[in-house]
């Protein structure tokens, strides 16, 4: 399956050269020459490991260089040491700079054509909005192939002339030690990392108060977690919002006045509006609809997908807006609030249930460390609400699934609370750290189909 996915990406974007960590080389090697891929440049993390570094290093990071016999494969250090000089600059701001792919959670992955102009717009915007300077020390924990990590944890710090403290594999203990040891000032992440970071029973053993900016996106940060972060650091979590199609942010929360579970306000030169899903007419204050955006960071279109590019945009007046597929509303201050993905909505007996709203409420239970809510088939209601829950270690055995259901009844409307709760040890995550709710939903529907057939 993984080989098929890699083959798709290589052939779709017509890649002939790959740069990879050596721990992943064996996955690429069979595709050399059998696809369009010809040359592979391999990096060994251990080439950069300092003997004085005394924190835990993952095995694949600390591994010495491997030997490769393929003449089309070369080590990164060898490529650097060859002394080759770049040719003259031949591109313009409108030429393609990067081609990030959508995650594919709602269909086949699509390459997003981003120019040097669109990438630069958000690089400069991210640096300015979060007050990065040459003295900024960024804790880099997001994968750099992901647009948020690329822009906020790599391009923006480089643009500002700051320092990056790179954590190649997420580890909450090491993250806390790095913040203390290097005096990290900025940390852009995803909500699941903050939840895990704050759940560390050893966190109080570290001084992490150098963090002056903590923010991110991917999913709304539960209010209870945001309050816990504030009590620890005196810093409010500043959420943002964006997509691969917008090379990260279209919205930011002002660091000095953020609102929790909020996308923020439109970024520099962004025109964001809410439209009705059926009529496509613009909606007003407090009304729920699809977010559409126009701005300098919006992609040109999908790579070799003219029909999907056409479907992805709408013209309002004389402006071309990208349709995000996300449901949101805005308040009297101009702050946008996410409701959920269009395709994630649960239809429970005719009532609309937005999983992210249910998840946010469930985080208020002191025993819940993480939750993922999905819709599952139900004979009477059509769909009903199910919650997968990871408990804090200290609470395991002290609370039951039925206890959670009974608690939820008193916390939310009758049609919203989860009728089913299942305790799990872990939840499926994408490589960028997002919860793969669709995978859980598909598994549930497969089980339901199997039961129906058996009946």
- Do 195 and 73 belong together in one domain? no
Do 301 and 365 reside in the same domain of the chain?
A: no
Same domain, yes or no: 187 and 281? yes
Region 332-356: mean pLDDT is 78
Higher pLDDT pick, 71 / 406: 406
Q: For tokens 């669709």, name the residue.
A: 438
Clarify whether residues 295 and 359 are in a common domain. no
**What is the per-residue pLDDT across 207-221, written as a single tens digit (0 to 9) for each?**
999 999 999 987 678
Instruction: Kindly state whether residue 88 falls inside one of the protein's structural domains.
Output: no
Which residues is 377 bridged to in the sheet?
383
Average pLDDT over residues 305-331: 94
Mean pLDDT, all residues of the chain:
89
Residue that terminates a domain, selected from 81, 106, 124 = 81
Residues 350 and 415 in one domain: yes
Instruction: Show the domain range for 45.
Output: 2-81
Range with the poorest average pLDDT among 92-96, 294-298, 357-361, 442-446: 442-446
Q: Which residues contact 194 (CB under 8 A, 6 or more apart)?
A: 214, 216, 221, 225, 229, 237
Q: What is the pLDDT of residues 262-292, one digit of tens each?
A: 999 999 999 999 999 889 999 999 999 999 9
Q: What is the distance between the alpha carbons of residues 274 and 151, in angstroms, rounded to a whole number? A: 26
Q: Are 238 and 217 in contact (CB under 8 A)?
A: no
Using CA atoms, how far apart are residues 433 and 339, in angstroms rounded to an integer? Answer: 20
Pair of tokens at residue 373: 């809510």
Name the band, by pLDDT with cuts 50, 70 and 90, for residue 114.
Answer: very high
Res 35: pLDDT: 92
Torsion sign, CA atoms 337, 343, 346, 352: positive
Answer yes or no: do 159 and 129 share one domain: yes
Percent of the chain with pLDDT over 70: 93
**Domain identity same for 207 and 129:** yes
Let me know whether 65 and 110 are in one domain: no
Residue 106 pLDDT more than 50?
Answer: no
Q: What pLDDT band is residue 70 in, cutting at 50, 70 and 90?
A: confident
- In this predicted structure, the answer to whether residue 92 has a pLDDT above a threshold of 60 is yes
- Residue 3 pLDDT more than 80? no
C-alpha 356 chain-centroid distance: 15
In a domain, 446, yes or no: yes
Close Cβ partners of 396 (under 8 Å, ≥ 6 residues apart)? none
pLDDT value at residue 432: 60
Q: Express each pLDDT in 40-67 by its tens digit.
A: 999 999 998 888 888 988 888 899 998 8
Q: Which residues contact 363 (CB under 8 A, 6 or more apart)?
A: 195, 222, 223, 224, 225, 371
Task: Tally DSSP H helices, then E strands, for the chain.
Answer: 14, 23
pLDDT at 439 over 90: no
**Domain annotation covers residue 90:** no
Q: Which residue has the tokens 């895990």?
A: 196
Pick the closest to residue 63 from 147, 169, 203 (CA basis). Answer: 169
> Are 218 and 201 found together in one domain?
yes
Does residue 249 sit within a domain? yes
Q: Are residues 313 and 437 in the same domain?
A: no
pLDDT tens for 361-383 read 898 899 999 999 988 887 667 78
As a whole number of angstroms, the distance between CA 148 and CA 296 comes to 16
CB-based contact 42:68 (threshold 8 Å): yes
Our count of domains for the chain comes to 3
Domain boundary among 325, 340, 355: 340
Do residues 332 and 361 both lie within one domain? no
How, if at all, do strands 17-21 and 336-341 pair? unpaired
Q: Is residue 89 part of a domain?
A: no
List Cα–Cα distances, 201 to 204, 237, 257, 392, in angstroms. Answer: 7, 21, 30, 10
| Residue 437 and residue 350 in one domain | yes
pLDDT of 186 reads 98
* pLDDT beyond 60 at 10: yes
Instruction: Decide if 135 is inside a domain.
Output: yes
Predicted confidence at residue 455, as pLDDT, reads: 38
CA terminus-to-terminus distance, the chain? 32
DSSP string, 23-59: GGHHHHGGGTTTSS--EEEEE-GGGG--TT--S---H
Residue 91 lies in a domain: no
Confidence category of residue 429, pLDDT binned at 50, 70, 90: confident
Determine the Cα–Cα distance for residues 349 and 370; give it in Å rounded to an integer: 27
**Neighbour tally for 51: CB within 10 Å:** 5
Q: Tell whether 108 is covered by a domain.
A: yes
DSSP category for residue 178: H
CATH number, domain with residue 424: 3.30.300.30
Which of 50, 81, 112 marks a domain boundary? 81
């Amino acid at each position: 399956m993984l080989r098929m996915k890699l083959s798709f990406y290589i052939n779709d974007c017509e890649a002939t050269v790959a740069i990879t960590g050596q721990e992943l080389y064996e996955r690429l090697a069979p595709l050399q020459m059998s696809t369009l891929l010809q040359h592979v440049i391999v990096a060994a993390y251990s080439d950069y490991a300092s003997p004085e570094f005394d924190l835990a290093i993952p095995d694949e990071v600390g591994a010495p260089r491997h030997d490769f016999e393929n003449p089309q494969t070369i080590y990164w250090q060898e490529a650097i040491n060859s002394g080759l000089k770049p040719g003259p600059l031949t591109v313009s701001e409108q030429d393609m700079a990067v081609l990030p792919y959508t995650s594919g959670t709602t269909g086949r992955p699509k390459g997003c054509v981003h120019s040097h102009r669109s990438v630069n717009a958000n690089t400069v915007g991210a640096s300015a909005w979060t007050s990065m300077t040459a003295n900024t020390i960024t804790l880099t924990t997001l994968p750099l192939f992901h647009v948020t990590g690329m822009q906020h944890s790599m391009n923006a710090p480089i643009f500002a002339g700051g320092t990056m403290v790179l954590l190649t594999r997420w580890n909450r203990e090491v993250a806390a030690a790095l913040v203390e040891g290097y005096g990290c000032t900025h940390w852009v992440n995803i909500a699941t990392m903050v939840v895990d970071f704050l759940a560390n029973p050893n966190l109080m053993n570290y001084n992490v108060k150098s963090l002056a900016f903590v923010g991110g996106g991917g999913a709304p940060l539960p209010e209870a977690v945001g309050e816990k972060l504030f009590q620890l650091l005196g810093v409010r979590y500043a959420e943002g919002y964006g997509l691969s199609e917008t090379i990260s942010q279209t919205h930011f929360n002002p660091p000095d006045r953020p609102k929790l579970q909020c996308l923020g306000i439109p970024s520099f030169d962004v025109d964001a509006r809410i439209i009705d899903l059926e009529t496509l007419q613009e909606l007003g204050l407090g009304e729920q609809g699809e977010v559409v955006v126009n701005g300098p960071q919006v992609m040109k279109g999908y790579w070799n997908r003219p029909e999907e590019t056409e479907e992805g945009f709408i013209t309002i007046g004389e402006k071309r807006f990208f349709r995000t597929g996300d449901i949101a509303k805005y308040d009297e201050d101009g702050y946008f609030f996410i409701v959920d993905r269009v395709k994630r909505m649960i239809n429970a007996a005719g009532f609309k249930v937005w999983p992210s709203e249910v998840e946010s409420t469930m985080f208020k239970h002191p025993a819940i460390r993480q939750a993922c809510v999905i819709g599952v088939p139900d004979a009477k209601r059509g769909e009903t609400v199910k919650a997968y829950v990871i408990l804090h270690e200290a609470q395991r055995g002290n609370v039951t699934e039925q206890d959670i259901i009974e608690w939820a009844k008193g916390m939310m409307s009758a049609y919203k609370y989860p009728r089913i709760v299942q305790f799990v040890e872990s939840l499926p995550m994408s490589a960028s750290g997002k919860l793969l709710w669709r995978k859980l939903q598909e598994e549930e529907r497969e089980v339901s189909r199997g039961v129906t057939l058996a009946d």
